[in-house]
Structure formats: structure tokens, C-alpha cells
Structure 1
Amino acid sequence: MPNRRVTAKAAAISAAALLAAAAAACGDDDPDAEDAADLGGSWTANLTTTAEWAAVYPNGHGTVNATSDDGTNVQLTAVGLGDSVEYTAHVHDGECDDNPPGGGHWLSDPNGEDAAGNIVELTFTTSATGVGETTESSTLALDDRAESVVVHAPDAVVQAQGLTGDRVLCGDLED
């Protein structure tokens, strides 16, 4: 006949081990909890002309200030670009040293489409002296995959310059 004290003690130890295992399964191993902790922040970037565009816009440069919490606000200023040209800019998932500079677009849903509603996009038109600025807001919250901001030239300007790439300026985001 088994000893009831030993059986009760063994049951208590088993229950404690089961509770500890269940507690360990929550928290750090939950990818959604980790992703939520990586959302938001403040970043700056100094935009510089990419190697391909250095001869076209040798004085091209700019700044970016981005803040993200429930959504994202990005302020961009660029100088030394073409006059009266509409440019687009995006947050990217690579660094400016990558090939192509900035890698791909940062996607809010990495498995989603590279399209409006899943990217942070800015547009601005430069003045007659090549200066442009914009402040854009997005409902998307940046995370630690956001690495850079890239300014893209329109296709007509790329073709007129005889170039193949549209990445004019790039700046790595810094905390």
C-alpha cells in the first residue's frame, strides 16, 4: 500500500512543475509580446547623395526626423536636388551601404504587399532652387526593422539622366 504522504508530496511537486512550465510558456517566448516591445521610437537620419546620383546632384543632402508610437510622423528636408521635381521617399529595411541603397521598403506586415497601406511613403516637390520638405503622418508604427529613408527620383528624371536606379538620397536611421 503506497504511503499517502509520499503520494501527496509527489502530486504537489508535479503540480508546481506544471505551473512553472505553463508560466515559462508565456512572456518571452511569445513572438507577439516581443514584437510589441520593438514598436515605436524616435530616429534621425542625415540624407546623402547615393553613388549613382553623385555627379547629377553633387550637393544633394537632407535630414529626416521620425517618431513612432501609435502611428508614425516623418519630417524630411532635402536640398541640392532638381528644381520643381516631385520626389517620393520611403522608410526602408536595409542600410544605405546595401546594394541597392536602403534595401527594400519597410513593410508594416512583412508578409504583406509592398503597397500603400503597408509602407510609410512621403512625397514632396522641390522649389525652383531644388529645396523640398514635407511632414507626413501614417497610422503604421515603425519597429526595429526600419533602417533607412530613401528619396526616389521619378522615372522621367532617371531616364533623362541616363541612369538605371532611382535612389537619389539615402540616410540610415539612428536612435
Structure 2
Amino acid sequence: MGTQYPELSDAHIKFIGQQHIFFVGSAATDGRVNISPKGMDSLRVLGPNRIIWRNMTGSGNETAGHLAEVNRITLMWCGFEKVPMILRAYGTARTLHPRDEEFEGFNTDFPPSPGARQIYDVTIEMVQKSCGYAVPFMDYAGDRDVLKKWAEDKGPDGVQTYWEERNQQTIDGKPTGIIT
């Protein structure tokens, strides 16, 4: 069993800042549990109990649908390169869409990138650290630019159409709130 903390420590925040990937877990009351890898410099620690992350347009939109039904979220980081650690942050999140007044203020915390779909404002209720001794070593070779190029090629109208056609429901048919 790992060690629990009421908030992120300075050491946790430093560890998070060294990671190139994190994972997001969410679930509604029924249906599938979703776990998604995230990268692209899309996360900011705002304090010991607060994180924001920018979600880019993708093939699924599970987190938004799950949070609309059950407001719980888990973020997880694994030390693949040096420190053998798994760090999880458990909490709730507020979903901000580009149409929301606060979205642009948070969006400026990240490098410019087309196709930003949501920003999640996460309130951390508990942090857990475990050993990560079975996590393999993996070398970081760089970020992919495929998603950014895809969104640039689509343009704002094409991304909006994609949301309308592909992102309005989870795989279990739950509404995501992307289009009002």
C-alpha cells in the first residue's frame, strides 16, 4: 500500500514537472472506465491542491462525459526514467469549454496549440505515492506533433465539425457537453 498525503508536496510537484506523460482516469456510474495518456505540455500545478490540464481534441471525449455524471478524477504519473515512483492525485474537476468565460485565461498558461477542447480545473483531495519498482525504464525521445498538425490542417471550423460529429457522446452514449 502506498503512502497518502492531503496535498502535493514540493517533492511531488518537482517529480510531476519532470514527467513527459501522465494518465487520466474517470468513470461514470455505469459503463466503461476510461484511462487516457496525456502529453504535449498540457498540465500545470497551480498549488498543492490544484492542477489544470488542457485536453486536446481526440477520437474520444470520455472524461467530459464521465465528469458531467460523476465528478471524480484520478491523475497518475510514473517515473519511467530515473525515480521509481508512481504518484496519483485523486479529486474532482471542473470542465471548462472554449465557450466558457474562464477558458481563455487558463488556456494562455499553455503553449499555443489549435484544437484545445477542454481545460480541467482539478481539485486534489488526496495524493498517493507508491514505489513503482515494477515500472520499466523508458527513454524519452520527444513529443509527437501529429495531433497539432491534424488540428492545424482541419482549422477551427473543421475541429468544430469534428466535435459535432465525433465528440458529443462517450462510447457508452453519455453526453459530453462539447456542443450546447
- Whether these two folds match at TM > 0.5 is no
- Rg: which structure is higher? 1
TM-score (norm 1): 0.31
